């Protein structure tokens, strides 16, 4: 059949099954026996047949494409999260389109419009907020949106985060228990719910201990900004004896600046605690004490909520907060008798 277009009918004839069985064999989750799938796949391979995904989407009204919108990939947390999200969606038979959009809100509408043009079945935004108008347009188009690692006060949007307030509380309580009294916080971008909630938990825990933070400064989730703020903190007459940093990406910059520019020892002179627990945090060069975001559970919840909305089994407005825990390593003084 060289030079001819191979159709599903050709595959059905060779496999000895119906044309609908061929369609089901290439549809994830369809009701069909493993034996029939094997026969269809073998016949398709022999004939060189590939299903026409675009044609099928015209019939079903579903593209089985999910748009992933990411603010930035400098933070080592997001490549890990994107890998897990992509794998989980592909395992459920969905294709993934990844788009970059910065924290600047003007970048987001163009990206969202492009996703709408692709007629995606759903959208996941990773640390990206969307405007009320964009939320309205997605709702009108019947496209569910789930915010990953970011919250937003909008009943049309679902969100999945770690419990940022409780996680940052645990970090602050750990530092207080270690005898620290001059504790500063280099926060995540205060334009984000994540940055605000981590700062709120930190400040509240210090207040409960009868302390005020030495400083709370916005690191903007940027490595260079965190390093600059660290220099300024240690230019003070009374510098910090501990720093809680809004994410690991910035915490690595803080550690490098303290050790290699200022010339102090971590944790002998200053304790440093981060947030995320990215793989690099466990490297011998850092051994960072940090709050672990349960990325696998966050991904699982995100995928279940999104696909549940697509399939009509989950309502909009779901807000999931997943418990995080402190991982104690060597970048901060461990309180006596402390147990994780």
pLDDT tens, residue by residue, 148-185: 999 888 888 899 999 999 999 999 999 999 999 999 99
pLDDT, residue 103, reads 53
Question: Is residue 289 situated within a structural domain?
Answer: yes
Q: Calculate the CA 251 to chain-centre distance.
A: 18
87 and 206, same domain (yes or no)? no
pLDDT, residue 56, reads 59
CATH assignment of the domain containing 40: 1.10.260.40
Answer whether 0.75 is exceeded by the pTM. yes
Q: What is the mean pLDDT of each run of 10 residues along the chain (340 residues)?
A: 72 90 79 90 86 58 83 89 94 88 64 80 86 82 91 89 97 98 97 95 98 97 97 97 98 98 98 98 98 97 96 92 96 85
208 and 267, same domain (yes or no)? yes
CB 151 within 8 Å of CB 125: no
150 and 169, same domain (yes or no)? no
The 3-state DSSP class for residue 66 equals strand
Question: Is residue 131 situated within a structural domain?
Answer: yes
Question: Is residue 82 situated within a structural domain?
Answer: yes
pLDDT, residue 51, reads 72
Both tokens assigned to 148: 């990953």
Question: Is residue 317 situated within a structural domain?
Answer: yes
pLDDT, residue 178, reads 97
The dihedral of CA 195, 307, 26, 56: what is its sign?
negative
CATH assignment of the domain containing 312: 3.40.50.2300
With 0-12 / 13-18 / 19 or more C-beta atoms within 10 angstroms meaning exposed / middle / buried, residue 115 is: buried
214 and 183, same domain (yes or no)? yes
pLDDT, residue 133, reads 78
pLDDT, residue 274, reads 98
**Contacts with 20 (C-beta within 8 Å, 6 or more apart), sequence order:** none
211 and 140, same domain (yes or no)? no
84 and 155, same domain (yes or no)? yes
152 and 301, same domain (yes or no)? yes
210 and 283, same domain (yes or no)? yes
287 and 142, same domain (yes or no)? no
30 and 70, same domain (yes or no)? no
Question: Is residue 94 situated within a structural domain?
Answer: yes
pLDDT, residue 134, reads 79
pLDDT, residue 142, reads 87
Q: Which residue has the tokens 């119906």?
A: 18
What total of structural domains would you count in the chain? 3
21 and 73, same domain (yes or no)? no
171 and 88, same domain (yes or no)? no
Question: Is residue 35 situated within a structural domain?
Answer: yes
Structural domain containing residue 315: 60-161+295-322
Question: Is residue 219 situated within a structural domain?
Answer: yes
Question: Is residue 1 situated within a structural domain?
Answer: no
């Amino acid at each position: 059949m060289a030079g001819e277009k191979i159709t599903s009918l050709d595959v059905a004839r060779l496999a000895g099954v119906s044309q609908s069985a061929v369609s089901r064999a290439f549809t994830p989750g369809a009701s069909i026996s493993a034996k029939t799938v094997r026969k269809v796949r073998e016949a398709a391979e022999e004939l060189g047949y590939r299903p026409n995904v675009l044609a099928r989407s015209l019939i079903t009204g579903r593209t089985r494409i999910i748009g992933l919108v990411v603010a930035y990939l400098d933070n080592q947390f997001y490549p890990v999260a994107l890998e897990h999200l992509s794998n989980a969606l592909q395992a459920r038979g969905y294709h993934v389109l990844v788009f970059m959009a910065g924290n600047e809100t003007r970048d987001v509408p163009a990206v969202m419009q492009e996703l709408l043009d692709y007629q995606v079945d759903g959208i996941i935004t990773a640390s990206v907020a969307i405007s009320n108008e964009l939320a309205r347009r997605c709702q009108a188009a019947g496209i569910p949106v789930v915010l990953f690692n970011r919250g937003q006060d909008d009943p049309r949007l679902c969100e999945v985060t770690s419990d940022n307030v409780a996680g940052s509380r645990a970090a602050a309580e750990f530092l207080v228990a270690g005898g620290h009294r001059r504790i500063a916080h280099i926060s995540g971008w205060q334009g984000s719910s994540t940055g605000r909630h981590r700062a709120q938990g930190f400040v509240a825990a210090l207040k409960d201990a009868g302390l005020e933070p030495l400083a709370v400064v916005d690191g903007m989730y940027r490595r260079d900004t965190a390093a600059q703020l660290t220099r300024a903190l240690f230019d003070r007459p009374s510098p910090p004896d501990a720093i809680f940093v809004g994410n690991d990406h910035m915490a690595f910059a803080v550690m490098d600046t303290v050790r290699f520019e200022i010339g102090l020892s971590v944790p002998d002179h200053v304790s440093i605690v981060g947030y995320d627990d990215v793989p690099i945090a466990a490297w011998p060069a850092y051994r960072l004490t940090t709050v672990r975001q349960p990325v696998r559970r966050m991904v699982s919840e995100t995928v279940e909520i999104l696909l549940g909305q697509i399939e009509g089994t989950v309502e909009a407005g779901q807000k999931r907060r997943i418990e995080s825990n402190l991982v104690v390593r060597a970048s901060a003084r461990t309180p006596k008798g402390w147990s994780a």
